[in-house]
Amino acid sequence: MITGCVEYWFMLHYKMFAPPIHTVAEKERVIAELIEKVPDYQKGVLHSTSKIARNYPDAVKNAKKVLSNLLQDGLPTLEDTDERNCWLCKKCLTFSNVYEAIDFLTSLK
């Protein structure tokens, strides 16, 4: 099991939350909650991922709230991205900042 999961990022497309994802059971709960939103969800299947992607603006808004709240818990700023990414990984919130990478890649075009 990885420390975070893409299903957490996908759930940010539907609501603002930051559940613990330290155990297999916690990861399975996030997946089950995603399946409630997208009943035909299957990891890696374009059709269900495309449905989720329609809510990308909501994911960005929710992820920004999560990161803003995490600043109070000691989240490092963007000045040191390695330290910041390590902190997010240790807290099992590694997918909270996916939108930043997407924004960066989009800006390169």
Structural domain count, the chain = 1
Q: Residues 46-99: pLDDT tens digits?
A: 999 999 999 999 999 998 898 888 888 888 888 878 888 888 877 776 677 778
Residue 98 structural domain: 6-107
Residue 94 · residue 85 · CB < 8 Å: yes
Q: What share of the chain has pLDDT > 70, as a percent?
A: 94
**Amino acid of residue 2:** I
Please tell me the distance from the alpha carbon of residue 55 to that of residue 88, in angstroms, as a whole number.
Answer: 23
Predicted confidence at residue 1, as pLDDT, reads 40
In a domain, 14, yes or no: yes
In a domain, 88, yes or no: yes
Predicted confidence at residue 75, as pLDDT, reads 86
Global confidence as pTM: 0.80
In a domain, 90, yes or no: yes
Q: What b-and-e string marks burial along 12-32, b requiring 16 or more CB atoms within 10 Å of the CB? A: bbbeeebeebeeeebbeebbe
Rg (Cα) of the chain, in Å, rounded?
A: 14
In a domain, 38, yes or no: yes
In a domain, 1, yes or no: no
In a domain, 44, yes or no: yes
pLDDT above 60 for 4: no
